[in-house]
């Protein structure tokens, strides 16, 4: 979910990277950081988008997560 040249997402990605680095240094597993609903984790960090698009992406992400489990 970016606008223009996509630079608006950089701050969000830096925050997520910082979160993962901090939690990894503390020995915390990724699933404890993201929770079992990966789409909800992502939604909490992204700017508001129309519900129908967000729900479609949520379903898609959760399907990928189920296949990887």
What is the distance between the alpha carbons of residues 12 and 29, in angstroms, rounded to a whole number?
Answer: 21
| Half-sphere exposure in the Cβ direction for 22 (13 Å, CA) | 7
Please state the domain extents for the chain: 7-68
Q: Which residue has the higher pLDDT, 19 or 58?
A: 19
pLDDT at 50 over 60: no
CA distances from 57 to 14, 24, 27, 43, 54 (A): 22, 27, 30, 10, 5
pTM score, two decimals?
0.60
Q: How many other C-beta atoms are found inside a 10 Å radius of the C-beta of residue 21? A: 10
Of the pLDDT bands very low, low, confident and very high (cuts 50, 70, 90), residue 18 is: very high
How far is CA 64 from its chain centroid?
A: 13
């Amino acid at each position: 979910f970016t606008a223009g040249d996509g630079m608006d997402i950089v701050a969000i990605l830096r925050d997520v990277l910082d979160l993962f680095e901090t939690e990894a240094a503390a020995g915390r597993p990724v699933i404890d950081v993201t929770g079992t609903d990966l789409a909800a984790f992502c939604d909490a960090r992204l700017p508001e988008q129309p519900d129908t698009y967000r729900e479609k992406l949520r379903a898609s992400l959760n399907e990928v997560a189920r296949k990887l489990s």
